[in-house]
Amino acid sequence: MSFLSTLFGKKEKATGNISILNKNEYATQIITNNIKPIDVRTASEYASGHIKSAINVDLFKPSNFKNYFEKLDKEKAVYVYCRSGARSQKAARKLLNMGFEQVYDLRGGYNAWK
């Protein structure tokens, strides 16, 4: 069992260095650690509603996505979400390939958050 699953219980499903958190786990971590989650949806999706303090970095704009994340500390955890969880999984894998060590994804995406 990994350190994080020991810390947060067995509900967490880890896929490599991608941890998929349910709504309560995700909310607790972003609030407790004062984290700004990354919304990887389009600007219009973001404008129609998003998690408070989330930063919009559209996965479908690859150069913007890459430029934004290249500036971040790859040793710090990144929290991503999308509409339902599929795009954020793609984003999470992309971030691991860019060298990020730990990526957290919201199970069910913004649909689960609402």
The type of residue at 92 is A
Among 51, 78, 82, 106, which one carries the catalytic annotation? 82
- Contact assessment for residue 50 and residue 110, using Cβ atoms and an 8 Å cutoff: yes
Report how far residue 48's alpha carbon sits from residue 114's, in angstroms, rounded to the nearest whole number.
12
| β-pair partners for 38 | 55, 80
Strand order in the sheet with 18-21: 13-15, 18-21, 103-106, 78-81, 38-39, 55-56
**Active-site annotation holds for 82:** yes
Give residue 97's Cα distance to chain centre: 15
* Residues designated as active site: 82
